[in-house]
């Protein structure tokens, strides 16, 4: 990734917080997926071998997972449910059968 590609990435992803530390490392944080103290550190020598899709994957860290459930024979994304339906999901009892 070139510095220009990084600039373009940061312009497109305004929710990504970034800064440089005293050693010149790039520190990135996505507030939706990282705790306040968590940051992704990228050393300057690693930047040229990094691609935009790799950076996106690192920032999400496997935490951008869609919850999908099956109800009466079809699948539905929970993110599209209203507050009441999500409450019903929380109230369901799960039973483990042996």
Residues 1-46 have pLDDT tens digits of 888 888 888 888 888 888 888 888 888 888 877 777 788 888 888 8
User: What's the rounded Cα separation, in Å, for the pair 65 and 95?
Assistant: 23
User: What's the rounded Cα separation, in Å, for the pair 37 and 80?
Assistant: 30
60 versus 82: the higher-pLDDT residue is 82
Kindly state the DSSP code that residue 56 receives in the 8-state scheme.
H
Q: Domain-by-domain residue ranges, the chain?
A: 3-60
- Contact of 20 with 6, CB cutoff 8 Å: no
**Which residue, 57, 52, 69, is CA-closest to 1?**
52
Predicted model pTM: 0.55
């Amino acid at each position: 990734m070139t510095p220009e590609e990084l600039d373009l990435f940061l312009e497109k992803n305004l929710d990504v917080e970034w800064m440089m530390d005293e050693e010149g490392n790039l520190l990135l944080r996505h507030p939706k997926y990282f705790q306040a103290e968590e940051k992704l550190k990228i050393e300057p020598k690693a930047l040229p071998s990094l691609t935009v899709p790799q950076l996106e994957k690192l920032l999400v860290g496997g935490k951008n997972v869609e919850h999908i459930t099956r109800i009466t024979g079809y699948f539905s994304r929970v993110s599209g449910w209203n507050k009441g339906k999500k409450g019903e999901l929380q109230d369901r009892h799960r039973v483990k059968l042996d």
